[in-house]
Amino acid sequence: MTDTNRFFPKIKTSAFWQHANHYFDRVYQTMKLDELWRPVLASPRRVVSVSCPIRMDDGKIQVFTGYRVQHNNALGPFKGGLRYDMSVNLEEVMALAMLQTWKNALVGLPFGGAKGGVVCDPKTLSPGEKERLTRRYISQIMPVLGPDQDIPAPDVGTDAQVMAWVLDTYSMMVGHQELGAVTGKPVPLRGSVGREEATGRGVMCVLRKFLATQNKALGDVKVAVQGFGNVGFHTARLLEERGATVIAISERNGGIYCSTGIDTDAAGQYYRENGTLDDCPGCEALTNEEVLVCECDVLIPAAMENTIDEDIAPHIQAHTVVEAANGPVTPRADEILRENGVTVLPDILSNAGGVTVSYFEWVQGLDNYFWDLKRVQDELQRVMDRAFDAVNTQADEADCDYRTAAYTLAIRRVAEASSLRGLFP
């Protein structure tokens, strides 16, 4: 494995950062690319850590830690989400930024990869505290942001409202409205229609294309979705609309099961009203682990990284795992699933719908010309179909799994761009 810690010696290596490098190294060493560029591609271009003091509602001052990591911009300005969660740490953000680089390259977007995060529990913050934290954080990382430099977007723990505060903070500091500075904005503030469901729609598109290669359709499969946030809910809803039977869903505290199919709209409404799926009418209670290993055709981990590890993997009964979350399958679990004949559709392909529609929003903001929902959905399907076809062709030609195929295409594109640009100075 590439020793990236010699470039960032104060960083204590985490499991997720190791996993991200494992997938990169495993593929890079088979591609016969110039070894001179290996440390460049494996290392983040910029790592920013900031202190964010804010006044809480009780009058006390609390200091939060925030990060922004910019991994590689050979193909264009940095692009990546912003998450608020207690699990946020520098190594996690570094890994997510690297994954974002490969994801953007794989689906053909003119972006590099970045990620940001603030260590906090957003559920314990009042709206005023969350707004003050957002504005402080953005003002602290302002020097590395901009529509031609680095464009944030929503991620775990953030939403369109947070992006509205990002837009306003950035615009106030530069002295003019700058729609291209952030994506995932509310539609009234010129966010793109279709952005909220975009990641879930991309997951649906990729699964539909894969099933077609097996002479199957969405109506032929039973699906379990682990995670019921924005991505999980819209994934489940869209799959159900197109004929799939969603038999299991879970959120952080547990899940529900119904062998004949869950009404995902009703479950979503219940979850929004109660903050839990416990006692959801007409459903049987399951633990998160039971959702992962239940009898189904397709398992969709849509929560956080490292959900499926070497202990869970041997018990998974699904024939297909679609990574709607970032890095939900550990490398050892990935090997076990492959040995057991389970197809894994990797995150850098499956969940790229969100950043794709973010790209559409960025383009619309720069042009001040805005698309209707049909155009957004049609363009998203075109991008996702093209990306799947490229990965599927690479997998067939190289006789390899989908993750290896996807990483091969993505790394090759970034490596070629980096080599052509060269080093400055």
Which residue in 252, 103, 83 sits closest to 159, CA to CA?
83
267 and 249 Cβ atoms separated by less than 8 Å: yes
For residues 219 and 235, what is the distance between their CA atoms, to the nearest angstrom? 15
User: Among residues 115, 130, 185, 209, which one is catalytic?
Assistant: 115
For residues 217 and 268, what is the distance between their CA atoms, to the nearest angstrom? 25
Q: Is 272 exposed, middle or buried (0-12, 13-18, 19+ CB in 10 A)?
A: exposed
297 and 318 Cβ atoms separated by less than 8 Å: yes
Hey, which bits of 106-241 come out as E strands?
112-119, 150-154, 222-226
Side-chain half-sphere CA neighbours of 194 within 13 A: 23
How many angstroms separate the Cα of 127 from the Cα of each of 60, 333, 367?
16, 39, 32
Residues facing 83 on adjacent strands: 117
Which residue in 41, 182, 48 sits closest to 116, CA to CA?
48
Active site residue 115: yes
Angle at the Cα of 34 (from 28 to 36), degrees rounded to 5? 105
For residue 347, give both structure tokens: 């995150």
One-letter amino acid for residue 261 of the chain: G
Alpha carbon 332 to chain centroid distance? 21
How many angstroms separate the Cα of 357 from the Cα of each of 154, 182, 195, 345, 369?
12, 12, 6, 20, 15
For the annotated catalytic residues, the residue numbers are 115
